[in-house]
A and B are shown apart, each in its own frame.
Chain A
Amino acid sequence: MSSTRNTDHAVALAPSGRAADRHALMDRTVHHVRTEEDLLTVRHAVRAATLRAGFSIVDQTRVVTAASELARNAYIHGGGGTVTIDQLTTGGNAGLRLTVQDDGPGILDTDAALADGFTTGVGLGHGLGGARRLMNDFELHTGPGQGTTVIATRWAGR
């Protein structure tokens, strides 16, 4: 478990890569989450990215909602952080990867945090578990005192 950022995916055609890892990064934007207003900015940026990726209206809503949950977690529990929006493509299929990173206290019990009903702040405790259900791939990197990084991806039409 570490808080290192996993952002080295450039032209990920690594010979050892699994099929799911073979994708090209088309665009990347990084947004800071320091104030409540930033949460809205992140939502707008994610919405714009889902439109560029050609996501259906339901997928747009899923990804923007997940981004809202994750960014709020970083703001409330992590004392602020960054949201990186990556536009991906593989074999003509578009995807969107959100990397939400904070340097907060980290999560002690990840199983509990992902289970429904767990909360240490505001909201219903559906933040992490709910966001995981809204995305196709979900990675959680955290540990006590190590901050929290969530990498979540959704692909169009899956």
Chain B
Amino acid sequence: MTTPVSGSVPILRLGDVLVTGLLNELDDKTAVAFTEELTSRITADGARGVLIDISRLEIVDSFVARTLMELTTMARLLGARVIVAGMRPPVAITLVELGLQLTGVETALNAEQGMAAMGWRQSPQPSGGGLGEFHPEH
């Protein structure tokens, strides 16, 4: 397995939402670099939301947890809302047993639901009745 180098986590922009995903492994250096890059992108792009897909992350230890919590706080200060999506069940169980609840971090079941929570909709949902059809940019 290769170690991701700094800046290797791609950050996409969809309207005013930044979308990014963490890979299987997150080492301390990458985590720090990721925080820095993401916060500067929030300011540069004027983003109002950040979606972090962690569905591929196999381990969240206290360092990664702290990174996510700090990131949420910093983004909030910069006017953006962070949603952490797709945490795996074993990771959630381990975090709770570690005594970490990611206080203040908003979560979503998967990237799709996270994006929906930020006002993005793929297509009208059966129960949604076309409500909330919202496209931030055309």
Contacts and interface: CB of A to CB of B under 8 A. Distances in A.
The answer to whether A and B touch directly, with their CB atoms under 8 angstroms apart, is yes
Interface of A: 36-37, 39-40, 43-44, 47, 57-58, 60-62, 64-65, 68-69, 72, 116, 122-127, 129-131, 133-134
A72 B90 contact: no
Contact of B62 (A36, A44, A47, A127): A127
A124 B66 CA distance: 7
Contacts of B25: 40, 43
Interface string B53-94: 000001111110110000000000000000000001111011
A60 B66 contact: no
B63 A61 contact: no
Contacts of A131: 98
Contacts of B59: 43, 61, 64-65, 68
B1 interface: yes
A65 B3 contact: no
A62 B27 contact: no
Contacts of B98: 65, 69, 126, 130-131, 133-134
Nearest to A125: B62
Contacts of A123: 61-63, 66
Complex A-B, nearest 7 residue pairs according to Cβ-Cβ distance, in ascending order:
A130-B98, A61-B90, A68-B61, A123-B62, A58-B90, A126-B62, A124-B62
